[in-house]
Amino acid sequence: MNGSEAGSPLLFVLHSAPDSEWVDGFLRPGLGLAPGAMLTTESFRPGVATVEEIARAVRETRFTVLILSDAFLTDQWATFGRTLATHSGVTDPHHVVPLMLHPCELPIDLDFRERLDCTDPDRWDAEIKRLRDLLAIDEPPAERVRCPYPGMVAFGPDDAHFFYGRDREIDDLARRMRHQRFLLIAGPSGSGKSSLVSAGLLPRLEKDWVVRAMRPGPRPYEALKSALEGEARHMLLVVDPLEEAFTQATPGERERFLRALSILRDARECALILLMRATNYADLMTSPLWPLGPGERAEIVPPREEELRRAIAQPARDVGVHLEPVLIERLLHDAAGEPGVLPLLQETMVLLWERRSRRLLTARAYEALGTDGRSGLATAMATRADAALAALSPARQAIARRILLRLVHLSDDHGDSRRQQPVAALRTGEDGEDFERTLRHLVDQRLVIVGEGRTADLAHEQLIRGWPTLREWVGQNRSDELARRRISRDAGDWAGAGRERGSLYRGRRLAAALEWRRRYPHELGDHERRFLRASRFSRTARRSALALVVLAFLAGTAWLAVPPVQEWRWRDQARRLGPTVLLPGGVALVGPRPSPVTLPPLRFDVHEVTNAQFRLCVRARHCLEPVQPFSETLYYGGDPEQPVVYVNAYQAAGYCAWVGRRLPTENEWERAARGTTGRPYPWGDAEPDSRRVAAAFGESDAPALDPVDDRRYAAGDTPEGLIHMAGNVQEWVRTEVQDDESLESGATDQWRRLGTWNGHDRVSVLAVKGGGRLDEPMPMFRANGADASDLDPQTGFRCVSTER
């Protein structure tokens, strides 16, 4: 039976203030005494002298428990109560029960008494059972207490009564909304914007507004229509997070959505609250919602230390659970100075809740969360990080691995640390939409933060040391990642030096870099790929230089006149070996952001020019024979139906002129590949695969060149019947380009168009389209750039003529 006789108190517990959390959080629920059966200093009557209250408590209870610690022995009132209780216990030796909570040196009047030893948390339950036996009370039933912490997700309306630490911001936002109907709330990732609004601000506004909330997603306009279903007067619309409209939606869908918000902004019976990460603020400045008036923008920062202290401790106290003071200090210490850590603290509290002792959260439980020297906060991160990774597809897991590795600064001398990187430096040319979705997932899961200027960073330094998965990746890939960074650095130096040939790789460095690229075909961005391509071209040109000189000399001395009739026959045969398709003239959509251009009717080669066709031009003494390095397969001397390669732009333009045609411009080439509607691939919208394109697709060895009419790839034909517009070989076009150094590495298109080449004057860099067998398939609006004199084993061409 738990209680006291005739309603009088059974027990007086005397303790110092620092030990109150243990008394209320563990001892009291461990005894399970009825209300009023246990007295503490909190039971003292207001206005009565403390001396009198201590004397009354000792006199009216059967037992006095002294909670012993250094703090107790230095507390004057605790010392007075101990003396009074010890004196009272002379006639009743069981009246005073010493309980040592922390090791301390006991005075002689207590040292001789049998005491309860709770210095070891593993003995807490056993020692409290001894006390229950002395008091003749039963063990209380197990309790189930609701966890007041939401973990990694934001606080919602149902959690409002557990939301603490943001009163100042809530007051400010509520004041603004009393006088205006539009408010943008911006702040860094992990600063608590969503929780602040949903659990702090909205409960204050719900009595005056009908609240509707929406998340934009990839179709924000449709989401807005759903949120507005049903009539509502005096409606408050909350859009969270607004940046999804800029990062996920198509331009057209985004424009419709933002214009709809502009209309709602002017509606008298509607108010808007928009939440946005500060990193996307520049996007808003070019939208129909700009400009913002005075007071319509609020910046939210992570809570200060005192605010954070209250947010940690108060929710637990609200449900009768207590935290050891040292636990709070440990949490604040481990979280100090780390952006985006607020959700991870909440996740840590959830894990601690599962390990509470009765109604007490202890520093010991927090320490037990960590393993291998990791803090409890680091363990919460590791648990969350592994779950976030497991939620991705294998392809996106590979992208996530690359992103996270590149955000680690590798140092053998000072230890690995966080490494801020531009978002563009984390992507490669093959990522596409998968990269943005993966990065967004890592940000949403609070593993990565994207700051000002689209700069990415790990959310917490502890991820490097405390997440075993990332630590293992770093250990396994340290040398390869350092090699990649050297290539990236050298590529940047090459671009910064005006793409000088002297900055290109040669010899062993080039061989090592190309071997690295073969093993990791997806790890390099466009900038690095162009650098290695240029290095390889330079090697090819050097190896071929002597052979070209010799060939030119021999050609000059042996250039005999070819009878006109014979040349006409060879030219006619070359034309018949290259069937054409007539493409009607009119408007076509071309470019990275499809724009209309008007083109005349075009007669386009169905396939690339073959070895057989080019040999006829060589026999006619109009073209120089392709010269490839001796170490390479003799393409020109091989399959006559394969596309001719190792031809520079001048040779390609010369052949086209010989058969009465010319190289296409980039716009003309895109019209042939994309039709008039700007489809991303020759066959339509479907992603490239091995049925459509002869290309690497991530294999360690790229496929060999295929004949131009190989029907294994028929699914990759255009509706007009053009073959191999993507893959196999990339193709020269006569659009002159220049590397646009003003754009970030990895941008959708990094080439500035300078004009159309006439096919014979000296020119620097031309666009090549379609991607070759060594490259991952790419959308048709993208281009590579190459020196017009370069020779390459995966660059060919096809011809076009204008129909009048």
DSSP codes, 733-744? EEEEEEE-TTSP
Q: Tens of pLDDT along 129-171?
A: 999 999 999 999 988 999 999 887 778 888 888 989 899 999 9
pLDDT of residue 635: 52
pLDDT of residue 100: 93
The yes-or-no answer to whether 5-135 and 166-299 have a common fold is yes
List Cα–Cα distances, 792 to 732, 788, 798, in angstroms.
11, 11, 16
Residue 440 clears pLDDT 50, i.e. is over it:
yes
Q: Tens of pLDDT along 659-705?
A: 999 999 999 999 999 999 999 999 998 888 888 888 876 544 456 78
User: What are φ and ψ of residue 223, in 5° steps?
Assistant: -65, -35
Cα angle 199, 200, 203 (rounded to 5 degrees) comes to 80
Lowest mean pLDDT among 244-248, 559-563, 780-784, 795-799: 559-563
Contact 370, 330 (CB under 8 A): no
Instruction: Pick the more confident residue, 98 or 508.
Output: 98
Q: Tens of pLDDT along 8-36?
A: 789 999 999 999 999 999 999 999 998 88
Q: Tens of pLDDT along 716-742?
A: 999 999 999 998 899 999 999 886 654
Please tell me the CATH superfamily of domain 5-135, with its number: Toll/interleukin-1 receptor homology (TIR) domain (3.40.50.10140)
Architecture per CATH, 166-299: 3-Layer(aba) Sandwich (3.40)
pLDDT of residue 447: 83
pLDDT of residue 504: 83
pLDDT of residue 702: 52
Q: Tens of pLDDT along 99-111?
A: 999 998 888 777 7
pLDDT of residue 361: 95
Banded model confidence at residue 322, pLDDT cuts 50, 70, 90: very high
- Specify the CATH number of the domain 564-727+771-782+791-802: 3.90.1580.10
Query: Which of 323, 278, 318 minimizes the C-alpha distance to 145?
Result: 318
Residue 95 clears pLDDT 50, i.e. is over it:
yes
DSSP string, 137-201: -PPPPP--------TTSPP-GGGGGG--S-HHHHHHHHHHHTT-SEEEEEE-TTS-HHHIIIIII
Residue 189 clears pLDDT 80, i.e. is over it:
no
The number of C-alpha atoms within 13 Å of 311 and in the hemisphere containing its C-beta is: 31
For the record, the structure tokens of 260 come out as 């709809």
* Ranges of each domain in the chain: 5-135, 166-299, 382-526, 564-727+771-782+791-802
pLDDT of residue 698: 52
Contact 193, 274 (CB under 8 A): no
Query: Which of 656, 631, 663, 650 minimizes the C-alpha distance to 756?
Result: 663
pTM of the predicted model as reported, rounded to 2 decimal places: 0.55
Banded model confidence at residue 789, pLDDT cuts 50, 70, 90: confident
Residues in Cβ contact with 233 at an 8 Å cutoff, skipping those fewer than 6 apart: 210, 269
Banded model confidence at residue 543, pLDDT cuts 50, 70, 90: low
pLDDT of residue 637: 58
Instruction: Pick the more confident residue, 626 or 553.
Output: 626
Residue 555 clears pLDDT 70, i.e. is over it:
no
| Averaged confidence pLDDT in the chain | 83
pLDDT of residue 497: 65
Banded model confidence at residue 515, pLDDT cuts 50, 70, 90: confident
Q: Is 161 exposed, middle or buried (0-12, 13-18, 19+ CB in 10 A)?
A: exposed
Residue whose structure tokens are 């929710």: 315
pLDDT of residue 717: 93
For the record, the structure tokens of 233 come out as 């007067």
Instruction: Pick the more confident residue, 798 or 794.
Output: 798
Contact 390, 401 (CB under 8 A): no
List Cα–Cα distances, 736 to 661, 758, 783, in angstroms.
19, 10, 11
Banded model confidence at residue 258, pLDDT cuts 50, 70, 90: very high
Helical (H) or strand (E) element with 323: strand 322-323
Q: End-to-end CA distance of the chain, in Å?
A: 106
Q: Tens of pLDDT along 332-381?
A: 988 876 666 777 788 889 889 989 999 999 999 998 887 766 677 777 77
Cα angle 59, 64, 69 (rounded to 5 degrees) comes to 135
pLDDT of residue 743: 46
